[in-house]
Amino acid sequence: MSRITDPFKRSATGASAPRRTRRHGLAAHESRDPIGFALAGLNKLAQSDLIDRVGLRRQSEQVVFTTTRSGFRTVAAAGRRFGKVASGSGPGTRPTTSRPTTTRHGDVFDLTPTEDEQKLVDVVTDYATEILRPAAAAADESCLAPVEVLAAGLEIGLPILGVPEARGGLFEERATMAGTLVAEALARGDMGLALAAMSPGAVATALGLWGTESQQQTYLPAFTGPEVPVAALALTEPAVLFDVLEPATTATRSGDGFVLDGLKSGVVRGAEAELFVVGALLDGRPTLFLVESGTDGLTVEADPSMGVRAASLTRLALDGVRVPAESVLGETDGSTYTECVRLSRLAWCALAVGTGQAVLDYVTTYVNEREAFGEPISHRQSVAFMVADIAIELQAMRLVTYKAASRAAAGKDFSREVALARQLCGSKGMRIGLDGVQLLGGHGFVKEHPVERWYRDLRAVGIMEGSVLV
Amino acid sequence: MISLETPKKHRVLVDQAHQVAMNMLRPISRKYDLAEHSYPKELDMLAAMIDGLSESGSSSGAGAAGVRREESDGDDGRVRNGTNLASVLSVAEMCWGDTALLLSMPRQGLGNSAIASVATPEQQARYAGTWAAMAITEPSTGSDSASITTTARLDGDEYVINGEKIYVTSGERADSVVVWATLDKALGRAAIKSFVVKKDNPGMKVERLEHKLGIRASDTAAITFTDCRVPAEDLLGSPEIDVKQGFAGAMATFDNTRPLVAAMAVGCARASLDLTRDLLAQAGVEVDYDRPAQVQSAAAAKFLQMEADWEAAQLLTMQAAWMADNRKPNSLEASMAKAKAGRVGSDITLSCVELAGSLGYSEVELLEKWSRDSKILDIFEGTQQIQLLIVARRLLGLTSAELR
């Protein structure tokens, strides 16, 4: 089924949030033809010699196709069919929360990662340095993560980090701490590309944590196989003062299954995704639903935002989307959903720490090299103290995030700790982005330097929900 | 394995310290804030109890002397939670009770930490049981402690000390004072040494006690040294003037005491947070950790911000102590902890007064007191600005001549 949708028109049963598009200062009663907008953008992109210079022409043509398709057509045909495995509605294989070591979490204060965690971080750091960082500027420009970059991420096992070992994953125990360290290392390369690379893993991790035997057998083999599907955890909605615990997206019981209606935003690589985990209110409680991209009533629209553009953000509209009873992921009492929100916020905190570290590394070199009034600007307290404050707040963000992550990995309550981490990473992370640009002055404002991108990326922290999970 | 919890072996100590703070310090907290300069005699019994705990080993080595780094703490590859961590944890609990009273605790002075940091083993043994205050600051020398003018001249087997020191915490009550003096001003900071001067030394005189904004239960003395003769063996550490090592020897004390002061700020701020959370709850404001701050009341949002900053200060402090326990150089982390804890301590205690309105401002509650006590913690043992200088120089690889 294929139909043209009008992005200005709200679905009758959809989200309560008003859908606002770019107005260019136009008054509310002015209405513009969205196709005209897209054409103007296409024209501009076709004229760009940047894409030829960096060898991105083929890829950008691909984006144009994707954006157009995702903007105006249903994604119904894009997805593969996941062969349903009917047996086993009981809980699937879960990662354990106890580690096969003699020390238990909480016995000893320690900031040293385990050997396995460190090995993983080393590999991911190489990937972030050698592959993500060099690709970051172009990916930001084109709103697309290059295929080779993502392929390399699959090779190092990013999607299966949170999948139980028995289901083909990396760790026997809950890999929240490892996932946090990995997210940080990835974002030190680039936050947008980190999101793109981590998005399938978010869904796989959710299946590992909350999937039934049948759900795990249906979906997880695809993630551990050679053709890893693109998948997205869709919790955010485009609403002012959005509270993720009260999504406007609804699930209503109908026959054997449910009907989903609403609008999700910030959906990573939504146009390519074959499987979504969508948050919706069922009987007044937020619940997670597995939705395959081939389902009728789904529309994806490109939603380029201020930053994390390499993640190809989209809006996902659900208009009378029928899903079967077994598409509920986890509990319907809100507990699974809340845990998912917390683990997702934890991942965002880790991303903020990684990007904050990138800023610190960059400005440290810059202020020592840049001269003014006959000496490096680092010799001035007003400059040096800003760098010191970045370092102090960054380490603070890191420690508070690690505390939340280590508690989550041990199966302890971490609601307080993750809330504090998010508070800190949202506000201090943004401050680091802001000061990063300020320290470079005018040079920070132009795209020759990456600090303006980090500034835009860091604004996502504290706003976005879902998308990533550790 | 990463874990940032209070370690199992220190939990009993922390609980004990909390009980002491709640049952012995809080009841006399306002009394000695009002009666500035009168000796809190209740502390004698407490100090005896703490000595007893130390003797029995159940204090985990916590306390002012817990900052010493033993050579025998060999590196067997295992992660250590030792006396540095125990000390910051117990100090924070005690300051949750009352910062000024913790500073007045007999035999737990900053001078004791200095002795523990730089004294030879023979001196350690000789000074066991002493209560030592710390005298660095002079009327015209604050943060710039390298340019102190108090002199020490070797005369036979004695040093002769001349000069004036101010802001000596417990300067009147302690048994002895650790004094910084220069052996030769021409040789700069390398010539600065510390000396233990006993209280009965006729050359040392307490001139006055200061009247202060906060920590009023703690006496702060101005002391003069006039041809004050001390035996040569009371020079702490080595008498050699090692120009290469420079100031490092004397400054090593600060790597150990800064996490302690950070812990004081953490403890004091938590007192404010705990009470304010309670007062807000009575007023119908509950902080929800799962809801975004911007959909909660402004008071709840402010509280979340304060608690996040508090957690950050606490963990930075624990990190600095953990590094000391594991014999990792921690100058950078000690200064980070003190900078963060110092400013967060002020923001939290002052904001809690604001949230509680005139109830917080009045002497009916202790919130106003904590907001006066916290200020000094962003000043002594290195001001906020000095900590930023240290952090910046280390990060940027700059000397004190380049980044002044």
* Domain end point (choices A302, A329, A356): A329
Which of B81, B333, B340 shows the shortest C-beta gap to A109? B81
Contacts of A114 in chain B (CB under 8 A): 1-2
The residue type of B318 is M
- pLDDT-above-70 percentage for chain B: 96
CB pairs under 8 A between A and B: 167
| Nearest chain B Cα distance for residue A112, angstroms | 5
The answer for A 348-387 residues in CB contact with B (under 8 A) is 364, 367-368, 376, 378-379, 381, 384-385, 387
Q: Which of A98, A275, A288 is nearest to A204 (CA)?
A: A275
Domain identity same for A313 and A343 = no
Q: Cβ of B389 and A391 within 8 Å?
A: no
A251-268: average pLDDT: 97
In this predicted structure, what is the pLDDT of residue A28?
A: 65
DSSP characters over B45-72: HHHHHHHHHHHHTTTTT-SGGGG---TT
Q: Cβ contact (<8 Å) for A420 and B313?
A: no
The amino acid occupying position A306 is M
- Choosing from A198, A229, A260, the residue where a domain stops is A229
User: Is there a single domain that holds both residue A339 and residue A452?
Assistant: yes
Q: Is residue A363 part of a domain?
A: yes
Are the Cβ atoms of A114 and B1 closer than 8 angstroms? yes
Return the residue in B396, B400, B402 with the most chain A beta carbons within 10 A, the one to mutate for interface testing: B396
Question: In whole angstroms, what is the distance from residue B94 CA to residue B215 CA?
Answer: 13
**pLDDT > 90? residue A45:** no
Minimal Cα–Cα distance from A241 to chain B, Å? 6
- Domains defined for chain B, CATH in brackets: 8-123 (1.10.540.10), 130-234 (2.40.110.10), 248-396 (1.20.140.10)
- A303 and A344 housed in the same domain: no
Residue B48 has pLDDT above 60, yes or no: yes
B contacts of A395 (beta carbons < 8 Å)? 316, 319, 333, 336
A103 found inside a domain: no
Burial of A43 from C-beta contacts in 10 A (0-12 / 13-18 / 19+):
exposed
Query: Helix axis angle, A115-127 relative to A176-189, nearest 10°?
Result: 20
Q: Are residues A453 and A399 in the same domain?
A: yes
- Is the pLDDT at A1 greater than 70? The verdict is no
Range of the domain at A448: 335-458
Helices (H), A5-132: 34-47, 50-53, 57-72, 115-127
Q: Of the candidates B79, B313, B395, which has its C-beta nearest A387's C-beta?
A: B395
Query: What ipTM score was computed for the predicted complex, to two decimals?
Result: 0.94
CA-CA distance, B272 to B98, in Å (whole number)? 11
Indicate which CATH number applies to the domain containing A415: 1.20.140.10
For the domain that residue A142 is a member of, what is the CATH number? 1.10.540.10
Q: Say yes or no: A317 and A340 in one domain.
A: no
Q: Which residue of A has its CA nearest to B337?
A: A392
Q: Which of B289, B318, B389 sits opposite A416 (nearest CB)?
A: B289
Position A379 in a domain: yes
Pairing relationship of beta strands A257-267 and A231-234 according to DSSP bridges: unpaired
What DSSP string runs through B233-255?
A: GGB-S-----TTTTTHHHHHHHH
Examine the domain organization and report whether A324 and A354 are in the same domain. no
Mean pLDDT of B57-67: 72
Residue A35 included in any domain:
no
Tens of pLDDT, residues A398-412: 999 999 999 999 999
d(CA A301, CA A290): 19
Q: What digits encode the pLDDT tens for the residues B33-45?
A: 999 999 999 998 8
> Taking residues A324-335, what's their average pLDDT?
97
Quote the minimal CA–CA distance from A461 to chain B in Å: 12
Q: Do A389 and B389 touch (CB under 8 A)?
A: no
The one-letter amino acid code at B132 reads A
> For residue A162, how many other CB atoms are within 10 A of its CB?
30
Considering the domain architecture, whether residues A398 and A448 belong to the same structural domain is answered as yes
> Do B2 and A107 make contact, defined as CB atoms within 8 angstroms?
no
Q: Which of A329, A357, A378 is the last residue of a domain?
A: A329
Stated as kind and residue range, the H or E segment containing A139 is helix A133-142
Are B292 and A243 in contact (CB < 8 Å)? yes
Judgement on whether residues A373 and A325 belong to the same structural domain of the protein: no
The single-letter DSSP state of residue B137 is -
| pLDDT value of position B58 | 67
For B195-218, the pLDDT digits (tens) are: 999 999 999 999 999 999 999 999
Nearest-CB residue to A406 (from B3, B322, B336): B3
Is the CB of residue A35 less than 8 Å away from at least one CB of chain B? no
Beta-carbon neighbour count of residue A88 at 10 Å?
14
In eight-state DSSP terms, residue B16 is: H
Residues A192-223 have pLDDT tens digits of 999 999 999 999 999 999 999 999 999 999 99
Which pair of tokens denotes residue B107?
Answer: 């035999």
Listed in sequence order, the residues at least 6 apart from B144 whose beta carbon sits closer than 8 Å to its beta carbon are none
**Residue of chain A whose alpha carbon sits nearest to that of B319:** A111
B43 or A19, greater pLDDT:
B43
- Distance between CA atoms of residues B276 and B294, nearest Å: 20
* Minimal Cβ distance to A109: which of B3, B333, B404: B3
Q: Which residue of B has its CA nearest to A105?
A: B3
Whether the Cβ atoms of residue B195 and residue B153 lie closer than 8 Å to each other: no
Contacts of A113 in chain B (CB under 8 A): 1-2
Maximum distance among all Cα pairs of chain A, rounded to whole angstroms? 77
pLDDT attached to residue A22: 53
Contact assignment for B2 to A395 by CB distance below 8 Å:
no
Q: CB neighbours (10 Å) of residue B271?
A: 26
CB contact under 8 A, B388 and A384: yes
- Please report whether residue A22 resides in a domain: no
Same domain flag for A308 and A346: no
Residue A422 lies in a domain: yes
* Tokens 């965002």 found at: A348
Closest Cβ opposite residue A368 in set B3, B305, B396 = B396
End-to-end CA distance of chain B: 40
Confidence of residue B246 (pLDDT cuts 50, 70, 90): low
Q: Are residues A325 and A345 in the same domain?
A: no
In the predicted structure, residue B252 carries a pLDDT above the cut 70? yes
- What CA–CA distances, in Å, run from A170 to A165, A181, A224, A408, B38? 5, 15, 10, 18, 65
Interface probe for A, chosen from B10, B395, B398 (most Cβ of A below 10 Å), is B395
CB B96 within 8 A of CB B338: no
| Probe site for chain A from B311, B317, B330, B404 (most A CB atoms < 10 A) | B311
A452 and A340 share a domain? Answer: yes
Assign residue A279 the CATH number of its domain.
2.40.110.10
Q: How many structural domains are present in chain A? A: 3
Give SS3 for B259: helix
Token pair recorded at residue A263: 């609008």
Contact B179, B194 (CB under 8 A): yes
Q: Which of B202, B181, B200, B201 is nearest to B191 (CA)?
A: B181
CA distance A47 to chain B (A): 43
Catalytic annotation present for B307: no
Residue B198: CB atoms within 10 A of its CB come to 15
pLDDT tens string B164-197: 999 999 999 999 999 999 999 888 888 999 999 9
Q: Which residue of A has its CA nearest to B79?
A: A110
Looking at every residue in chain A, the average pLDDT score rounds to 87
Lowest mean pLDDT among A215-229, A255-269, A344-358, B266-280: A215-229
pLDDT in tens, A360-381: 999 999 999 999 999 999 999 9
Whole-number Å distance between alpha carbons of A77 and B367 = 64
Q: Is A97 on the interface with B (CB under 8 A)?
A: no
pLDDT surpasses 50 at A16: no
Inspect the interface and report whether the beta carbons of B294 and A392 lie closer than 8 Å. no
Say whether A111 and B319 touch across the interface (CB within 8 A).
Answer: yes
Look-up: residue for tokens 């304060």?
Answer: B306
Cross-strand partners of B206: B223
Candidates B290, B295, B397; nearest CB to A419 = B290
Closest CA in chain B for residue A115: B1
Cβ distance B322 to A341 less than 8 Å, yes or no, reads: no
B224, B205 Cβ separation under 8 angstroms: yes
pLDDT bracket for residue A95 (50, 70, 90)? confident
Q: How far apart are CA B107 and CA B117, in angstroms?
A: 15
Does the beta-carbon distance from B291 to A245 stay under 8 Å?
yes
- What is the predicted pLDDT for the residue at B350? 98
A353 domain residue, yes or no = yes
Residues A279 and A365 in one domain: no
| Residue of B81, B294, B316 with shortest CB distance to A396 | B316
Instruction: Give per-residue pLDDT as tens, B301-341.
Output: 999 999 999 999 999 999 999 999 999 999 999 999 999 99
DSSP A5: -
| Residue at A90 is within a domain | no
**Cα A314–chain centre separation:** 11
